Amino acid sequence: MVPWALVYAVNILAIFVCSLYMFYALEGSYKTLGLIPLLMGALMSVGYTLVVFFIVEQKQVRRNSDFPTSIGTARAAPNGYAASGD
């Protein structure tokens, strides 16, 4: 199994290194082009962090819920009818 968090972290780190290299290597007003990968990396890191928090929250909600987690485990509703909408 691939550790996707590590792959994304290396990707963002490479983007930040690219930005630093652009700040160092370019001259004059071209140094402002280094802001593009810097902003891109910052937005990606914020986005990935929000996705991780969403996934963790969904796993916690699923663990604490009373809903069936797979097909065929539906229980009868309190009124005697099937809870799965049949």
pLDDT tens digits, one per residue of 17-37 = 999 999 999 999 999 999 999
Q: Which of 13-22, 38-47, 76-85 has the lowest mean pLDDT?
A: 76-85
Q: What is the dihedral of CA 83, 84, 85, 86, to 10 degrees?
A: -100
Helical residues (DSSP H) of 3-80, grouped into ranges: 4-25, 35-64
User: For the CA atoms of the chain, what is the radius of gyration?
Assistant: 23
Which pTM was predicted?
0.61
pLDDT at 85 (0 to 100): 52
Q: What is the pLDDT of residues 59-81, one digit of tens each?
A: 877 777 665 555 555 555 566 55
